[in-house]
C-alpha cells in the first residue's frame, strides 16, 4: 500500500456543516481531525472527522471499502461502540463524522501507566466484549437478518477510554460482514501483527471467535503490562500458530488462577475451544469480578485515566471558519503551484472557459450570418442560399475533471490513529524463551503439511500469499 498523503487541512477549513479544528493523526486509509459542528449562537459540539486519503479516493477498491464502513457503521448503535453521526461523499473530500471521545486509547493508557489495576482492566475488556457482541449477533440488515460482523482489528489502539470512564471500540474500517464481504487482493492480511487470531494468519474463514481471541490478547496485555506475542513478524506468527506465550501467572506473581484460566480459554488455538461468543467472555469476567470483589466501577476508571494524563480539559473549539474562495482568478493562481488545488478547482475553470468559448463562437456565427444576408440582399440574386448553423460544442469529458465519488466504508471507527503499539516493559521475566503450555498443538491448514523450523524463521507455506 502506498504511503499516506501528506495533506493537512488547516484549522478553520469547512467541510459541509463542519469546521476543522485540528489534526489528530492518520491511519492506513484515512486522516483523523477534531472538528466542530455549529448550531444556534454560542452552540458548538466536537466531532471527529475521518477523511479518506486523497491518493486512495481515486482507487475504486478503497472507495468501496470506505462506503462499506459507513454502511456497516450506520447499523451499529451501542454504548460501547463509537457512533457514526454523518457521512458526506460529495466533492473532493469524502469523510465520516464520528462521535468524539474525550480521552485516550488503551495503547496510550498502558504506555503511561503500565499494567492496569485488575478490576479496571477487567472493566475495559467487559465493555469491549459487550460492544463486540452487539456487532456479532445483534446488528441487523435492512431485511432483519443478523449481519454477522467480524471486527478483525481488536487491539489497544482501537479501544478508547474516556476521562469519564466510558469505554468504546472503534475503527470498523476493515470489518467483514458475512452478507457484504469487502473483497481484497489475494493474500492480503487485515489486522495487526501480535493481535490477530491463528485463523487470520492462515486466511481461514472468520467468525466472532476470532475477535474473542484478539480481545483475549488485550486482556493479557492490560493485566500483565506486556504483550503476549512480540518480536519480528515471522516470530510473532509462529508463536501464535504454536500457542507459544508466557502464561500470565509467570509474569505477575499474584495473578489470580481463575483469571489465568479465562485468558487461556480465550487464547485457545482451536476455534471450538474458545468462548462461543463475546457475551460469554464478558459474563465470565463479570462472575470473576464478583467472586474476587474487584473494583470495576466506571468512576474508578475515570479517576485512574484522568490521573495519568493530568485531567486535561475539553479541546478549544474556538476556530474561525475559513470557507474556500470560489473566484476564478484566485483558484487559477493557486492551481499553478499546488497539484491538489489544480484537481479541486479545474472543473470551475474549464466550465468558465467553455461558457466564454460558446458565447464568443455564437456571437461570431451570428455576425457572419447577418453579414452574408445583407450582402445577398444588396446584390438581389435570384435565389437566397440557406446558411447552415455551426454545431455548438458539447460538454464532454473535457468539460470538467471530477474525482470519482468514494463511498465511506461502513463502521464506526475510533478517532485515534493507528501507529504500532508500544511495548510496555515490566519487571516480569523476558520472553526470550517463552514457556509454551504442554497441551498446545500447532494450528495448521488441513491441506498443507510443513516441517517445523526455528522460532525466528517462518514455516514454509505459513506466510499468506502476498507477504
- So which residues are the catalytic ones? 153
| Cα–Cα distance list, 280 to 215, 222, 277, 295, 374 (Å) | 13, 19, 5, 20, 93
DSSP state at residue 103: E
Check if the beta carbon of residue 317 is closer than 8 Å to that of residue 21: yes
Supply 140's cell numbers: 441487523
Supply 171's cell numbers: 475503527
DSSP state at residue 95: E
DSSP state at residue 425: P
Give the Cα separation of 228 and 245 in Å (integer): 6
Alpha helices (runs of H) in 12-133, residue ranges in sequence order: 54-57, 60-74, 106-113, 118-133
Check if the beta carbon of residue 64 is closer than 8 Å to that of residue 78: no
Beta bridge mates, 149: 177
Give the Cα separation of 363 and 268 in Å (integer): 80
At which residue does the C-alpha cell 495448521 appear? Answer: 444
Sign for the pseudo-dihedral over CA of 451, 267, 175, 165: negative
Amino acid at each position: 500500500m502506498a504511503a499516506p498523503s501528506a495533506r493537512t487541512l488547516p484549522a478553520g477549513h469547512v467541510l459541509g456543516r463542519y469546521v476543522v479544528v485540528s489534526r489528530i493523526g492518520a491511519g492506513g486509509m484515512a486522516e483523523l481531525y477534531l472538528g466542530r459542528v455549529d448550531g444556534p449562537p454560542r452552540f458548538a459540539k466536537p466531532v471527529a472527522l475521518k477523511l479518506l486519503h486523497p491518493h486512495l479516493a481515486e482507487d475504486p477498491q478503497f472507495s468501496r471499502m470506505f462506503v462499506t464502513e459507513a454502511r456497516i457503521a450506520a447499523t451499529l448503535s451501542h454504548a460501547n461502540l463509537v457512533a457514526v453521526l454523518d457521512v458526506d461523499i460529495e466533492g473532493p473530500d469524502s469523510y465520516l463524522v464520528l462521535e468524539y471521545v474525550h480521552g485516550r486509547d488503551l495503547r496510550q493508557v498502558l504506555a503511561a501507566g503500565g499494567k492496569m489495576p485488575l478490576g479496571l482492566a477487567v472493566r475495559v475488556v467487559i465493555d469491549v466484549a459487550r460492544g463486540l457482541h452487539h456487532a456479532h449477533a445483534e446488528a441487523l440488515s435492512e431485511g432483519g437478518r443478523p449481519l454477522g460482523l467480524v471486527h478483525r482489528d481488536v487491539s489497544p489502539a482501537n479501544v478508547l477510554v474516556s476521562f469519564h470512564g466510558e469505554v468504546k471500540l472503534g475503527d470498523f474500517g476493515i470489518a467483514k460482514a458475512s452478507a457484504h464481504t469487502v473483497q481484497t487482493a489475494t493474500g492480503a492480511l487485515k489486522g495487526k501483527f501480535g493481535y490477530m487470531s491463528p485463523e487470520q494468519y492462515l486466511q481461514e474463514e472468520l467468525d466472532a471467535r476470532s475477535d474473542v481471541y484478539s480481545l483475549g490478547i488485550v486482556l493479557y496485555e492490560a493485566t500483565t503490562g506486556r504483550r503476549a506475542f512480540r518480536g519480528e513478524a515471522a516470530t510473532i506468527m509462529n508463536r501464535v500458530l504454536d500457542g507459544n506465550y508466557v502464561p500470565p501467572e509467570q509474569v505477575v506473581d499474584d495473578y489470580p488462577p481463575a483469571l489465568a484460566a479465562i485468558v487461556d480459554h480465550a487464547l485457545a488455538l482451536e476455534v471450538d475451544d474458545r468462548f462461543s461468543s463475546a457475551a460469554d467472555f464478558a459474563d465470565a469476567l463479570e462472575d470473576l469480578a464478583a467472586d474476587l470483589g474487584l473494583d470495576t466501577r466506571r468512576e474508578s476508571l475515570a479517576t485512574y485515566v484522568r490521573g495519568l494524563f493530568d485531567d486535561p480539559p475539553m479541546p478549544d473549539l474556538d476556530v474561525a471558519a475559513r470557507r474556500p474562495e470560489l473566484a476564478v482568478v484566485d483558484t487559477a493562481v493557486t492551481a499553478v503551484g499546488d497539484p491538489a488545488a489544480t484537481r479541486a478547482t479545474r472543473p470551475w475553470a474549464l466550465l468558465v472557459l467553455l461558457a466564454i468559448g460558446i458565447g464568443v463562437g455564437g456571437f461570431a456565427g451570428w455576425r457572419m450570418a447577418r453579414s452574408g444576408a445583407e450582402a445577398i440582399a444588396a446584390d438581389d440574386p435570384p435565389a437566397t442560399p440557406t446558411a447552415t448553423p455551426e454545431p455548438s460544442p458539447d460538454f464532454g469529458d473535457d468539460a470538467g475533471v471530477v474525482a470519482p465519488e468514494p463511498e465511506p466504508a461502513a463502521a464506526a471507527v475510533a478517532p485515534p490513529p493507528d501507529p504500532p503499539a508500544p511495548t510496555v516493559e515490566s519487571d516480569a521475566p523476558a520472553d526470550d524463551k517463552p514457556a509454551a503450555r504442554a497441551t498446545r498443538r500447532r494450528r495448521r491448514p488441513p491441506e498443507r503439511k510443513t516441517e517445523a523450523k526455528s522460532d525466528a524463521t517462518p514455516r514454509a507455506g505459513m506466510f499468506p500469499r502476498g507477504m
